[in-house]
Amino acid sequence: MRRQDASLRALRGEEPVRWWNQPAPLSDVAIAAASEVEQYRRIEVLCLPTVEVAPWAVVDVVHLLAELLDNATMFSPAGSPVHVVGGTLRDGRILVDIHDGGPGMEPEVLDQLNARLNGQAGLDAGETTTSGLMVVERLARRLRARVALFPWGDAGMTSRVILPGKLVRPVVAANPRLKTLPRGR
């Protein structure tokens, strides 16, 4: 119900009511997104870059990924895995791919959805099978992220999210020696 409320707020152009007060590792963000999906057991977060998401963007990135993960589990065969993988692009942007084994889409429909997901035309509830894609479009716009859908393998789809470099930073590993040094006398 919380995600449904957050989706309605996003569709109305409102800011989220929850906030995060510190950066969060992208892997934790992906796991949090998976936990918001009814069929979360099918989702496998395999490999993501070691970066942190800016505090102000954590809630929206979790929500965006949750909507895409929900679609992936909903439109792929029951019991089949949904994989989350990612990488860092040369310019510092972060790529997150969600692969499923669903039936795919007709190329014309895919082209129209991709144009709309990236702000070239608004998504209309009557034209999509799920309001989730309308939410994804609004969240991507707010984050200045890019989202694209394309075929994956012989059967399946990939939802690709490209997060701008300003949303992430490399994880700064704490120096464990600093925690174990005795206090001076």
Task: Output the pTM of the full model.
Answer: 0.81
Q: What is the pLDDT of residues 110-155, one digit of tens each?
A: 998 898 888 765 545 444 445 578 888 989 999 999 999 999 877 8
Q: What is residue 171's predicted lDDT score, i.e. its pLDDT? A: 83
Backbone angles phi, psi at 64, to 5 degrees: -60, -50
CA gyration radius, the chain: 18
Pair 106, 112: CB distance under 8 Å: no
More confident residue, 174 or 120: 120
Q: What is residue 179's predicted lDDT score, i.e. its pLDDT? A: 45
Q: What is residue 44's predicted lDDT score, i.e. its pLDDT? A: 96
Q: What is residue 10's predicted lDDT score, i.e. its pLDDT? A: 52
**Of 1, 86, 5, nearest in space to 38 by CA:** 1
Q: What is the largest CA-CA distance in the chain?
A: 73
Encoded amino acid at 5, one letter? D
Q: What is residue 180's predicted lDDT score, i.e. its pLDDT? A: 43
Question: Residue 185 above 60 pLDDT?
Answer: no
Q: What is the pLDDT of residues 3-60, one digit of tens each?
A: 555 544 555 566 766 666 899 999 999 999 999 999 999 999 999 999 999 999 999 9
β-strand 43-47 against 82-88: which pairing, if any? Answer: parallel
Q: What is the pLDDT of residues 70-114, one digit of tens each?
A: 999 999 999 899 999 999 999 999 999 999 998 888 889 899 889
Q: What is residue 182's predicted lDDT score, i.e. its pLDDT? A: 46
Q: What is residue 12's predicted lDDT score, i.e. its pLDDT? A: 52
CA torsion sign for 137, 82, 99, 157 is negative
- CA 176, CA 104: separation in Å to the nearest integer? 48
Quote the tokens at residue 130.
């799920």
Q: What is residue 174's predicted lDDT score, i.e. its pLDDT? A: 54
- CA 58, CA 96: separation in Å to the nearest integer? 14
Q: DSSP readout, the chain? A: -HHHHHHHHHHTTPPPS---SS-EEHHHHHHHHHHTSTTGGGEEEEE--SEEE-HHHHHHHHHHHHHHHHHHHHTS-TT--EEEEEEE-TTS-EEEEEEE-S----HHHHHHHHHHHTTSS---GGGSS-THHHHHHHHHHHHT-EEEEEE-SSS-EEEEEEE-GGGEEE-----HHHHHPPPP-
Q: What is residue 133's predicted lDDT score, i.e. its pLDDT? A: 82
